[in-house]
Chain A
Amino acid sequence: MTAEKTDAIVLRAVGWSETSLIVTLLTRDFGKVSALAKGARRPKSPFEAALDLLCRCRIVFLPKSGDVLDLLTEAKLMRQFRNRTQRLKNLYAAYYVAELLRELIDHGQPQADVYHLADETLLKLEQDAQVDGVLLQFEMSLLKLLGHQPSMTRCVGCDTPLLDEGPVHFGLLVSGVLCDRCVAGQRQVIRMRGESRKIFTLLSEESDWESGWLTIPDLVRGECRAIIQRYLTVHFDRQWQLHRYLEDLAR
């Protein structure tokens, strides 16, 4: 098996034996990789600090076939996550980014766009106070890249364009807005303010998230966060660990 080189973000590192780590990495060229880093916990480890959570590093690994873990042979630190804001919200938001990536990205599927998005998001979270906007943009961009983006402009029941700028029904299970006719009989439907829908529409239509980071108006910030969190919970049928922490800090 030949060694592979790529850039990676550390999504998780757990102890394995006295001296080794099992790391979960989001790589630029190989999707998610789980690898054994032998000797990573030794005082004179060749990996140094490169395998700390959220670090960006350049790795060399030996892919293994079947259920066997890949073997990490080198990791050179490129950038640590430095919470320059000294705000817990930024740190928990970065943890949340790692949690979403860890759960939603598959092993072995190249996701260069996702890697780039994650890298830029972490960079932004290191220094920006607008955490809600950064997270919302990350979540929507990630959903788009993974093909899970909810429909915000057309009814998901009948495909009719919803032109009214007032409140709309949003179906969490059906992944999108619903017109008054199609909403009947649907479960897990919530009301969304017109202003919130405008933000989601803007984020859905934005062809390139790199064109800038959005500032969410105070008026709808709470609602937008609540909607996206509920959508992620219902759509992927799982509770996200970091939602609780982010909600606690928002109170």
Chain B
Amino acid sequence: MNEISKSVTELIQQLGRLPGVGRKSAERLAYHLLRVHESEANALAEAIVAVRKNVRYCSSCYNLSEGPLCGICADPSRDSSRLCVVEQPRDLMALEQAGVYRGLYHVLLGRISPLDGIGPEQLTIEKLVDRVRVGNFSEVIMATNPNVEGDGTSLHISNQLAEYPVEITRLARGVTSGSILEYTNREVLADALTGRQKL
């Protein structure tokens, strides 16, 4: 490849390492950064440096945080009797955006996947059990992804929590609101029928 500039080539290579960014997209982004005002490009660079420097995991729930505790754990208005268990911080963000849950969270930082060499000891399950043991939770909501490994992780955790006086629930699954039953696949219908609710 003919190098236009060593710095530009380096920037393209670095951008190209980001998920979902291929060679062409990396080139477009690099040329965009060269075109914009210097302050705009510097702001992006500073934001990247700041996020790496300041963001860490919350010492209680493992959500992303800029202090020892994340905003949710530090908020006294949250319902401290409910704990929602999610796989990743982005799952937590999705649930927060739904705007109906006011309890606390626990982020596992993954899911149990023995075939990929990820066991329970590599997640934050031990810390979760400790939280339930010393906390005043009445309900633990399992919000792992609705697939075989997500359900397996929930099952492992529910076994670990069996000795504590907490109700363990999981997210409902089934037919999407606004969809048509006729076009719904049979596995989804089976889930919906199994988890039917009283009207």
Which residues of A are interface residues toward B (Cβ below 8 A)?
12, 14, 17-19, 48-49, 52-54, 77, 80-81, 83, 86, 88, 91-92, 95, 98-99, 102, 241-242, 245
CA distance A99 to B114 in the complex (A): 9
A18 touches B19 (CB 8 A): yes
B148 touches A18 (CB 8 A): no
The smallest C-beta distance from A242 to any residue of chain B, in angstroms, reads 6
A18 touches B115 (CB 8 A): no
The smallest C-beta distance from B173 to any residue of chain A, in angstroms, reads 11
Q: Could you show 30 A-B contacts with beta carbons less than 8 Å apart?
A: A12-B115, A17-B20, A48-B185, A49-B147, A49-B185, A49-B187, A49-B188, A52-B147, A52-B148, A53-B115, A53-B148, A53-B149, A77-B185, A81-B148, A83-B152, A86-B155, A88-B152, A88-B155, A91-B148, A91-B155, A92-B114, A95-B115, A98-B115, A99-B115, A102-B115, A241-B114, A241-B115, A241-B117, A242-B114, A245-B114
Which residues of B are interface residues toward A (Cβ below 8 A)?
19-20, 114-117, 119, 147-149, 151-152, 155-156, 159, 185, 187-188
Contacts of B116 in A (CB 8 A): 14
Contacts of B187 in A (CB 8 A): 49, 77, 80
CA distance A248 to B149 in the complex (A): 18
Contacts of A99 in B (CB 8 A): 115
Contacts of A88 in B (CB 8 A): 152, 155-156, 159
B155 touches A83 (CB 8 A): yes
Known: A17-B19, A49-B147, A95-B114. 11 other contacts (CB 8 A): A12-B115, A14-B116, A19-B20, A52-B147, A53-B147, A54-B148, A80-B148, A83-B152, A83-B155, A91-B148, A95-B115
